[in-house]
Each structure stands twice: as C-alpha cells, then as structure tokens.
Amino acid sequence: MRRLGDDITLADLEFDPDPIMARLRAEEPVCWVPALEMWLVARWDDVAFMEANPELFSAATEPSLLARALGPNMLTCDPPGHTRLQQIMQPPFQPGGRSGPFVSNELARIADELLDRVDPTGFDLMADYAQLLSAGALATVLGLDHHGYEQMWTWCRGLCADIANFGNDPELTKTGEIAKASLGEAIAQRIAHAGADDAAISSFVRGGATPDEIVNNVRLMISGGINEPRDGIGLVVHVLLTRPDLRAEIDASPAKLRRLIEEVFRVYTPVGTVTRQATQDLELAGVSIRRGDLVSGVLRSINLDETHWSDPTEIDLDRREGSHAAFALGAHRCLGEWLGRQEVRVGVERVLERFPALRMADGAEVEIRGFEFRGPHAIHVTSQ
Ligand code: HEM
C-alpha cells in the first residue's frame, strides 16, 4: 500500500512545503519520507516533545551534513558537552555582551552606509542591502569585519551549499570545502590576535574554548547567522510593501513593528527543520520509530499548526498565543536570537525611514523558495 510519504520529493518541499505539511498535519503527522530517508514530524505537540527530550532525539546525528560541512560543532552535540559551549559562546550575542553596544551604536550606521550606495530608482533589497547588513553585523560582532561584508557573504553561501547538499553533488561539496578552508584560516588568524577586546572571538578564547571549537562554531554562526536575518529583513519589508493595511498599522503605531517581525518569523519560518536521531526504539504520536532513524521536526509546519494557532496563516499584530518556534524550542534554541531580531528591526526601520516612498518595482514578483532554508532570492524595489 502506498503511504503519503512515498509521493513527497525534496523538490516539491523546496518549491512549497505548506500544502504538503498541511496534509501531513491532518492525515499522517509523523510520516516516513523515503526520498529524504527520514521522518517528518508535522504537529506542534510532537515537535515540542522532541525538543524537550534530547536524550531520546540526539543532535549528534550520523550521518550529519552539518558536521561534514563545518566540522563538529554545538549543533551536532548534546548536553553536557553542548551546555559548556553554549555557556562560552552565548554571552557576546546577548544585550549585555558585544551585541548590546553594537546594536545601540553601530548597526544603524552600517545600514545607512549601505543605503547611501543603493540606486533609489531601482535596487534589489536582498543583494544590495539585507545580505550585506546581515553579513556586516555578524562580522563586526565576531571581530572579522576587516575581511569585508562581501567576503562574509561568499563564505556563508559556500558553507550553505554543502549543508543543504542532500543529493551529495560533488560540485557543491567542493564549493563548501573551499569556503570551509579559507574561512577556517581567517578564524585561526583572528584567534592568534585575540586580546582583551570585546569581539566575540576574543571572548571565546578567554572563555576557554579550544581553537578547533572556535573555528567550527564560528563557521556554524556564519552559515546560519547571515541568511536568516537577511531573509527576515526581506520578508518584513516585502509584507509591508504588499499589505497596505499592515503598513498603515505600523505607521500609526511604530512600536507594533516588533509584533510584525514575530508574526513574519512565525508565518514564514526561514529555518525549516530541526533534525535529530532517535537514540532508542520509541513511539511518537503512536508511530513506531526505530533507534537510529533520522527524525525531522518541521518548525515551519508547527508554526502553522491549526491545533495550536487560531487562523495560523494570518499575520495578526494582536495575536496573544505565546511565542512561535522559528528560533526552535529546545536545548539548541537559536544562540543569535536577540541579535538577529535587532538586525531585522533596525534594518527595516532604516530602509523605510530613508525611502518613505519605497514600493515594489513595476512587475516585480517575489519568489520564496527552499525547505531547510526558505527565503526570497531577490526583491526588486524602487523609491520613485
Ligand atoms: C534572525 C533569524 C534567525 C533564525 C530564524 C534562526 C533560527 C535558528 C534555529 C531554528 C536554530 C535551531 C536549529 C536546530 O536546532 O537544528 C538556530 C540555532 C542556532 N543559531 Fe540561529 N537563527 C537566526 C539568527 C541567528 C544569528 C544572527 C546567529 C549568530 C550567531 C545564529 C546562530 C545560531 C547558532 C550558533 C545556533 C546553534 C545553537 C545551538 O546548537 O545551541 N542564528 N537558529
């Protein structure tokens, strides 16, 4: 008998996961997908259970595209090893660490410098602004900004090519390996010059992380911490330019921008999944899972779960149903969450203040694609 999962392909998920995941939530919420060789878990309660029980659902998966592309890192290990790395590496990304003064004193200036260079008659919000702002912000907090924002973006793209290389394409592996090696060298040089400064890499050295731990985890930060704020900035601006009702609400009450950002993160969920490995034979929602099986909790699906949210696909600035799962729910909850949110808020505020007449360019279509990483490739805008 054919099962629902037999007909699911990666290409379909990358094109538009929403109808597929809606069907899984309704009919087969824990579903084996042969094309991915893993279970997809579609409902909020079941993913929350996975996230609350790392001893049953390990992040140290075998095989691991993440460990291959970046080297072993905090997202490929479990507590207590993970807890130690988290304690060393989280502080610079909190308001009390390097990120606090960076957001107050430097972030808007970087945004303005980038906006000085765009052509107001027509530019790509993603390539000309969002990705460089996101790359520049992380580079500055880490202490790697002397390499330039374009170089950071190139490293990020190279690493991500291999992380999402589900088909083991040798060209993508080669691209990833080049980025991995040249970024590794840059981080090693920065470690050698670490001092009493407040850059994140210097504080990792002072915190007692080994050079290998720093290199691999900074690679992880660059692979995840640039794409996501980039997509967040693009998606929020896109929503504001295509939903005059929401734009009017934010113009009337600018403090609501923070609510809009949360709703956009929920509805679009740029990081699609948390992938883990069952450490023993177990049951999830009545389905038998064998030890060693890969199990993917689909954050994008649980953020739209009808049993958890009212009118889930609606962007509702007055929603009071608790926090969403776009930054995950468990031990590996996003380390750069606070900084990422500020990048999106300041990035959106600056572009709208500098270009109050900003609108979508005539005929511009925005394609939002991807499953593991989902976002717009380009957003063509004009302020004329
Ligand atoms: C603003 C948009 C962002 C979103 C939506 C996002 C989303 C996520 C998600 C869903 C996870 C969990 C992955 C998993 O468990 O498999 C995660 C982890 C992580 N994120 Fe983010 N992220 C964002 C920004 C950032 C930034 C700016 C950084 C910069 C340092 C960052 C660094 C990390 C790291 C290091 C982890 C691994 C944490 C751990 O293993 O404990 N992220 N992120």
Residue 1 has a pLDDT of 73
| Residue in 123, 5, 42, 38 with CA at minimum distance from that of residue 297 | 42
Residue 74 has a pLDDT of 97
| Residue in 316, 309, 313, 333 with CA at minimum distance from that of residue 259 | 316
> Closest Cα to atom 13, ligand 1: which residue?
274
pLDDT band at 12 (very low <50, low <70, confident <90, very high): very high
| 334 alpha carbon – ligand 1 mean position (Å) | 4
Residue 165 has pLDDT above 90, yes or no: no
Per-residue pLDDT reduced to its tens digit, 96-116 = 999 999 999 999 999 999 999
Ligand 1: residue of 226, 334, 343, 348 to mutate (most ligand atoms within 8 A of CB) is 334
| 332 alpha carbon – ligand 1 mean position (Å) | 8
* Contact (CB, 8 A) for 153 and 131: yes
Per-residue pLDDT reduced to its tens digit, 134-156 = 999 999 999 999 999 999 999 99
Residue 318 has a pLDDT of 95
| 282 alpha carbon – ligand 1 mean position (Å) | 28
Percent of the chain with pLDDT over 70: 100
Domains (ranges, CATH) in the chain? 58-272+327-382 (1.10.630.10)
pLDDT band at 203 (very low <50, low <70, confident <90, very high): very high
Output the ligand 1 site: residues, CB below 6 A. Answer: 74-75, 86, 93, 138, 220-221, 224-225, 228-229, 232, 265, 270-271, 274, 299, 326-328, 332, 334-336, 339-340
Closest atom of ligand 1 to CA, residue 220 = 35
Residue 361 has pLDDT above 80, yes or no: yes
Residue 161 has a pLDDT of 87
Closest atom of ligand 1 to CA, residue 74 = 40
pLDDT band at 260 (very low <50, low <70, confident <90, very high): very high
pTM of the model: 0.96
pLDDT band at 166 (very low <50, low <70, confident <90, very high): confident
> Closest Cα to atom 21, ligand 1: which residue?
334
> Nearest 5°: CA angle at 210, between 207 and 216?
110
Read off the pLDDT of each residue in 66-89 and give the average, rounded to a whole number.
95
| 328 alpha carbon – ligand 1 mean position (Å) | 8
H or E element, residue 288: strand 287-289
Read off the pLDDT of each residue in 31-38 and give the average, rounded to a whole number.
95
| 319 alpha carbon – ligand 1 mean position (Å) | 24
Q: What are phi and psi of 40, to 5 degrees?
A: -105, 130
Residue 384 has a pLDDT of 84
Residue 5 has pLDDT above 80, yes or no: yes
Read off the pLDDT of each residue in 310-338 and give the average, rounded to a whole number.
97
Give the number of other CB atoms < 10 A from CB of residue 364: 16
Per-residue pLDDT reduced to its tens digit, 368-380 = 999 988 999 999 9
Read off the pLDDT of each residue in 256-271 and give the average, rounded to a whole number.
97
* Contact (CB, 8 A) for 292 and 303: no
**Distance separating alpha carbons of residues 206 and 253, to the nearest angstrom:** 43
Residue 310 has a pLDDT of 97
Residue 358 has pLDDT above 80, yes or no: yes
| 382 alpha carbon – ligand 1 mean position (Å) | 31
- Judged on CB neighbours under 10 Å (0-12, 13-18, 19+), 290 is exposed
Q: Which amino acid is at 57?
A: F
Read off the pLDDT of each residue in 188-214 and give the average, rounded to a whole number.
96
pLDDT band at 70 (very low <50, low <70, confident <90, very high): very high
| 347 alpha carbon – ligand 1 mean position (Å) | 19
| 4 alpha carbon – ligand 1 mean position (Å) | 31
Per-residue pLDDT reduced to its tens digit, 282-291 = 999 999 999 9
Read off the pLDDT of each residue in 355-381 and give the average, rounded to a whole number.
94
Residue 2 has a pLDDT of 79
> Closest Cα to atom 18, ligand 1: which residue?
334
